[in-house]
């Protein structure tokens, strides 16, 4: 049990569609970061949420947006899906700063056809 829960585990979408991925952080964690991991590559930072605000953003287009709720859970939304958006989307939670290490969820495998 990773402590971080992501849903759904797998998803198949068509180009141009929109998708919402969900994440519940580990108990006691208040910071949620989202990563995209293409096959055979390292995780790429999308953005991080803390106190319901986007604290930092990586080099991803505005099609990628997110939200954090008062209970610290988070959503990742991707609009106008492209084939290149196919990847494993990982949610990582932490308590406070990044200094303490991340706990990752099992991820959502998104396939865009």
Partner 1 sequence: GQQVMQIPQYQHVQEGEDFTTYCNSSTTLSNIQWYKQRPGGHPVFLIQLVKSGEVKKQKRLTFQFGEAKKNSSLHITATQTTDVGTYFCAGPLTGGGNKLTFGTGTQLKVEL
Q: Which residues of this protein are in contact with partner 1, per CB under 8 A? A: 2, 33, 35, 41-45, 48, 55-56, 58, 90, 92, 97-107
> How far apart (Å, rounded) are the C-alpha atoms in residues 113 and 73?
28
User: Cβ closer to partner 1: 54 or 79?
Assistant: 54
Shortest gap between Cβ of 2 and partner 1 (angstroms)? 7
Sequence-separated contacts (24+) of 47-52 with Cβ below 8 Å: 49/74
Residue 2 is encoded by which pair of tokens? 């990773």
Pairing relation of β-strands 87-94 and 108-112? antiparallel
User: Cβ closer to partner 1: 2 or 13?
Assistant: 2
User: Cβ closer to partner 1: 14 or 42?
Assistant: 42
């Amino acid at each position: 049990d990773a402590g971080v829960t992501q849903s759904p585990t797998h998803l198949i979408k068509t180009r141009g569609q929109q998708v919402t991925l969900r994440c519940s952080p580990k108990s006691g964690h208040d910071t949620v970061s989202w990563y995209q991991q293409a096959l055979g590559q390292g995780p790429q930072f999308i953005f991080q949420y803390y106190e319901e605000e986007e604290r930092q953003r990586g080099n991803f287009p505005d099609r990628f947006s997110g939200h954090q709720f008062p209970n610290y859970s988070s959503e990742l939304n991707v609009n106008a899906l492209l084939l290149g958006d196919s990847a494993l989307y990982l949610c990582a939670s932490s308590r406070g700063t990044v200094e303490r290490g991340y706990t990752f969820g099992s991820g959502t495998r998104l396939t865009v056809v």
